[in-house]
Structure 1
Amino acid sequence: MKLLVTGGAGFVGATVTRMLLDACHEVVVVDDLSRNDDRQIPDGAAFVRLRVQDIAEILVPDAGFDAVLHFAGLIAAGESMHHPEWHWDNNTRASLALLDAMRTAGVGKLVFSSTAAVYGEPAELPLVETSPTNPVNTYGDTKLAVDRAITTYTRAFEFGAISLRYFNVAGAHDCGDGTMIGERHDPETHLIPLALDAALGRVDKFALFGDDYPTADGSCVRDYIHITDLARAHLLALEAIHPGEHKVYNLGNGIGFSNLQVIEAIREVTGAEFEVGIAPRRPGDPATLYASSERAHRELGWTPEYPDILDIVRDAWQFHQQPR
């Protein structure tokens, strides 16, 4: 198939692009490089530097695309509370432009990068796809709005789509040729790469945002999923799209690790001691999130192969030690 991948310079987008190329698909990557550079775009993919808001410039009827995998967007929940306008533009407005361009071009298959943030503070755990959606941050609001828009498009235009709701994606993907794809966010907001910076002495101390949550050790609890497992689910989803249907799947391990547990795993893997400073809670951070991915297992045949937090941290550590 000829596939359009938006946000293909990012951590998840680049990993999925690598897997699509390995599966002999033709891939065109679109990214504006506003939060990444082009170093991780895999060889073999065509690259167009473009904002998704302007996607109609290349997504035209005679371009020959069979499907779109949409990763482009802003992901920092804390930032979304201070700059909601950035997230509504880059996540929601851009996605609506993409949906309209797909309709005009006659491209009827979409895999959408959604998020666990649509659920907000859960009433019960683990979270399932039918759990109430009540985001507590603007990031989750923008992604939920896109999910709802996709549903209406599938009803109106015989459009087919699958939304994959990620929990905390981490680790690094081994490409099998001596290279790895890992996290290179700018700015970096994720716990594991920030703590690995502290382990390497790149920063003086690691900031833990909040130690007074209603959890066993007072720190947030999250479901961590290995990037390789997450990326593999996108190829399965691509083959499972049906016209007129919008399916939603959670992608997680079903295991919750607290921030302090992850820090201890990082200390064990790296052998480094580093200072942890307590910072105020970030607005929009739920206390506990972890998933049931039973639907993805049942309907897509997807099962995580790397659920151990130590394996996730080891791969992230291997990547993180590489020159920047």
Structure 2
Amino acid sequence: MKKIFAGAGAAAAYLAGVPAHAAQPVEWQMTFQPPATGIMRQIAWFEHYTLWFIVPITILVLVLLAYCIVRFRASANPTPSRTSHNTLIEVIWTVGPVVVLLFIAVPSFQLLTAQYTPNEEAKLTVKATANQWNWDYEYQVDKPLSFNSAILEEGDRAGLGKQDKALYPRLLAVDHEMVVPVNTMTRVLVTAADVIHSFAMPAFGIKMDAVPGRINETWFKAEKEGLYYGQCSQLCGKDHAFMPIAIRVVSEKQYETWLAAAKTDLPGANKALMAEVDGTNKVAAAGN
């Protein structure tokens, strides 16, 4: 019990010093990441909405079970009832769930529709190809940019300037992040080169399977600058747990500068961007 309170206290202390738009995984975390897109806000709202149905129903069923166990136990009810049905009860337990399901179904269909129908055309398209156990990113722009993104090895932290484990956490940080501009509709074409993987970014509310020989499409419009982490969320082999995804959201100007430099010197472009972003904004990482 002491560990529980200690973990909760540490989480509260950490969150108190972090900007409101950023967060990391913390001990005893029970909620979603802070949303960074409109879709994720809708997902978070839908979760809270459904709890207003789930919690009362769970309590009601528990109370009914307890009542039946006590009221109709053998010692208190030695002669069991031979009642075969009760019309009123049958109507209630038929109509009640139908009404509840309708209240859940309507907003869930609206959310599903919103997830698959972006309200504007994509301004940036990035192809993400999954490999065992890393990601290839291809920016479909003039003079396309391609690079590989793999988990950050502990021995490479100093060389890449990522010694800060609070910002570049173990098992989530990568050597080269996907970089996108803030408030920009971004299309991600997802595929795989070997087995089935899955491109998941919790703070953006996206999760799309990467299937060999097939290109799936997802999209996001990040509204807050920061460094966001996700992971492959489809079991894909022995190193599945070591296949993180990192997306750095920056200003339009910072993105344009990075893109121009990355086409000739990706490590140098990343270091210049990190120096500017980490030094001026000190954005925290939005964790998985």
Same fold judged by TM-score > 0.5? no
TM-score tier, shorter chain, comes to under 0.3
Larger radius of gyration: 2
Q: Please give the TM-score of this superposition, normalised by the length of structure 1.
A: 0.24
Q: Please give the TM-score of this superposition, normalised by the length of structure 2.
A: 0.26
